[in-house]
Each structure stands twice: as structure tokens, then as C-alpha cells.
Amino acid sequence: MVGMEILYRVIAAITSVLLGAMIAGGIGVVSAVVSAPFKLFGLAGIIIAYVLITPIATLVGAIAGGAVAGPFEVARYRYYLSLRKNGIRPKVTCIFDAFDFFMQFALVTGVRMLTIMWIPVLIQFATLLLAAVVAAASRSYLAAMLLVMIGMIAALVVAAYRSYQFWPMALVQADHPQLNAEQVMERCKVMTEGHKFDLFVFDLSYLGWNILSLLTGGILSVLYVAPYKMMATAFVYEEMKGRPVMVDDIKPSTDGNGMTIAVDPKKLMGIGSTGGKKPTSHIPAASRAAGAALEGVAGMYAGSSYPLEPNQPVILGRDPAYAKIVFSQGAQKISRRHCEVMFNSRVQKYRVTDFSSNGTYVNGSRLPANSPVLLTRGTELALGDNNNIIRLS
């Protein structure tokens, strides 16, 4: 983890310096061109030029910085999420996997920064403009400065609120790189609903560590604080992601009748079976008592049963690195990490979360992407297509 933090900071420093130099140069040229006519009006003209340039420079800098550095931030989160889910520490060079989705990550991150910053920038612009008018009309620069301070505070509050509204955006991108900006943002809004203050408290809890990191010149951050907080962030994200959401358009599908699912053959193989053999594993007594299991209805695992341990999620998909149940037959429409199934012993229902590109279906209706849904026993799921069907028994 220390190696990841060192590599990430080196990349961040290089991109920040190069991007900062380009932005500063561009803003300098634009400032000279824009401010030249206003210098004829003396101090008031200079203030007006500042009012025009500062908000634009802030917005452009935020969007450009997010777009360039964002993909590496997402790759960094993928490292910690992989460590959290699989217990295996990936190679630090996986940060360069960002280049596989660079344009998509850059676009989504740029949209995130634009969404977060445009209202604060508008507030900043309005207050600076008002301050310039007050200064020019009344010659009361104290009143103008007071207006600027009030505007800055208001902009910071709005920016903080928007930041926490989209707090897990990089994590969602890391978890589901196939999603577009709109899907990522909608998912973030659902996850952070009613939890923005909790996230603020979470960040605030690291204030003391951040101060100590500053006192040690950032050394403590690299060696301990940053890896610790990143892992904690991954745990917080998984906890937020795990909250079940009942969706109106699938309620007719939760009666336990006639539901079908297509499961990725490759993932189911990874359950502990080899070839076409039925999956077998040690089943805890609690699981046997609850009777929770996945039953193959059609496809690679037709006629076989895989008991589930209550409250322990199981991933289905094509990639053994992610999935416990791996499918290799008829899995063309199944994603590497297609869906997650968990039996909730408290409510005696199954929690199903779809992560796939081609969808997980119940009675022909596609489950909402990345939103946990509670389903009753007897429900059949179709993952991607109807080649593989699994029943929640």
C-alpha cells in the first residue's frame, strides 16, 4: 500500500505541475487580453476584470485538473477495493490500468467537477460583481470586501454539500467502469442520501492525522495515514453500497413466481468445482438451518445446488478473480463480475445487486444497476440472457 501511495503521489505531482503550468500560461494570456480594456477605468476596471477572470479560471482549473488526475485517482481506488474484496494485494503498477479507460474516466471526472463547481462559481461571480459595483458606486472598499467574504463562505458551503453528494463517485467508477457519467452520478445521489453529514464526520475524524502528516512533511501520510484512510474509505463504500433499495418497477417480480435468470457459466465454475461438475463446498450449520441456496434451473449448473452462508455475499460472473460462482459455458452475455447474491437472515430475503453490462433480469424486467434489491425465495434470475437460469431457493 505504501508503494501505491508513493507512485500515486509521484504521478499526481507530475500531472499537477504540467497541468498547472499550462493553465497558468493560458489564464495569463487571457487575463492580459481581457484586463487591458478595463485598465482605462482605473481601480474599478481592474476589479471588474478580476470578477470576470477569477470564476472562469477556477472552473476551468477544477475541470481540467479533475479530468487529467481523475483516472489515476480511480485506478488508486480500484487497488484498495480489490484488496478489500479479495484480500489479495494487487501490484502497484495496476495504477496504469487507468489508461484502459482514460478518456471515459476523464470525462466522468470532468463532469463531476463541473457539477460540483458550477453553482459555487456562479455565487463567486455574482458576489464579486456586486462587490465591484458597490466599490465603484460608494467607494466603500470595506463593504466590498465584506461582500466578497460572504460570497466565498456561501460558495464553500455549497461546494462542500455538492462534494459529499458525489462523494463515492471515484469509487463507483472504480467498481463499475462501464457506467457513464449520468449513471455514476445517479448512483452517488442514492448512496449518499441522508448520509452526507456522516461522511463529513468520517473525513473530520482524520483531521488530527492530517495535521500530524503536515508536521512530518507528508511522510506520515504516505507510510500510514493515506493507506489507512483509503482502506477505511473502501469499507465505508462497501457498507453504503450494501443498503438494500426496493424499486417500484420490479415489485411485481418479487412474488417468487416465474422468475428467470441467466448466470455467467464461468463464474459458477469458480465456486469450488472443476469442469462441468456440480459445485461443492463446506456448508456451515447456520446455512443449512436457513436453507438458503442457489439452484441451477437451466444451463451450466442445471440440477445442481449451491448452499449459501447467511449474510455472506457471493459474486457470480466469468472472472475467477472476482467471482465465487464462475461460468464458462453459455456465458457470452455474462460480465466478469456480473452480480452479487446474499441471503439476509434478518428479513429472510435475498439481496441481489447487478453489476453487469447486459443486465440481470426478473420476469423479463431488468434489475436496476448497482442498486441492491430484496427478492423473495423462489425468484429466478436471468443474467444477461436465458442460457443460464438460477433460482433463489
Final residue before a domain boundary, out of 214, 241, 268: 241
pLDDT at residue number 304: 86
Task: Based on the fold, state whether residues 264 and 162 are members of the same structural domain.
Answer: no
Final residue before a domain boundary, out of 221, 241, 261: 241
pLDDT at residue number 341: 93
Task: Based on the fold, state whether residues 310 and 219 are members of the same structural domain.
Answer: no
Task: Based on the fold, state whether residues 212 and 333 are members of the same structural domain.
Answer: no
pLDDT at residue number 340: 92
pLDDT at residue number 143: 79
Rounded to 5 degrees, φ, ψ at 116 are: -70, -40
Round to the nearest angstrom and report the end-to-end CA distance of the chain. Answer: 41
Question: From its phi and psi, is residue 383 left (phi > 0), alpha (psi between -120 and 50) or beta?
Answer: beta
Task: Based on the fold, state whether residues 162 and 85 are members of the same structural domain.
Answer: yes
pLDDT at residue number 244: 43
Task: Based on the fold, state whether residues 172 and 23 are members of the same structural domain.
Answer: yes
Task: Based on the fold, state whether residues 46 and 72 are members of the same structural domain.
Answer: yes
pLDDT at residue number 101: 58
Task: Based on the fold, state whether residues 56 and 131 are members of the same structural domain.
Answer: yes
Show the domain range for 38.
2-241
Calpha distance 76→230 (Å, rounded): 9
pLDDT at residue number 288: 40
Angle at 93 between CA 233 and CA 191, to 5 degrees: 25
Task: Based on the fold, state whether residues 322 and 347 are members of the same structural domain.
Answer: yes
pLDDT at residue number 117: 73
Rounded to 5 degrees, φ, ψ at 81 are: -65, -40
Which tens digit of pLDDT belongs to each residue from 12-49?
666 666 666 665 666 565 556 555 555 544 555 555 55
Using only C-alpha atoms, the chain has a radius of gyration, in whole angstroms, of 26
- Residues 261, 380: contact at Cβ < 8 Å? yes
pLDDT at residue number 280: 37
Task: Based on the fold, state whether residues 228 and 267 are members of the same structural domain.
Answer: no
pLDDT at residue number 97: 63
Angle at 102 between CA 99 and CA 106, to 5 degrees: 150
pTM, two decimal places = 0.50
Domain count within the chain: 2
Rounded to 5 degrees, φ, ψ at 122 are: -65, -40
Q: How many CB atoms lie within 10 A of CB 162?
A: 18
Task: Based on the fold, state whether residues 266 and 234 are members of the same structural domain.
Answer: no
Final residue before a domain boundary, out of 241, 258, 274: 241
Task: Based on the fold, state whether residues 261 and 367 are members of the same structural domain.
Answer: yes
Q: Which amino acid is at 184?
A: V
Task: Based on the fold, state whether residues 11 and 130 are members of the same structural domain.
Answer: yes
Tens place of pLDDT for every residue, the chain, 393 residues? 666 666 656 666 666 666 666 656 665 655 565 555 555 445 555 555 555 666 666 656 666 665 666 677 777 787 887 777 666 666 766 666 655 556 666 666 667 677 777 777 778 778 877 877 777 777 777 877 888 888 889 888 888 888 888 888 888 877 777 677 777 888 888 888 888 898 999 989 988 988 998 898 888 888 888 888 888 888 888 777 754 433 333 333 333 332 323 333 333 333 333 334 433 333 334 434 457 899 988 888 888 888 888 888 899 988 888 888 888 877 888 888 899 999 988 888 999 998 888 888 887 788 888 888 889 888 989 888 878 889 998
Check which CATH number belongs to the domain holding 287 and give it. Answer: 2.60.200.20
pLDDT at residue number 350: 92
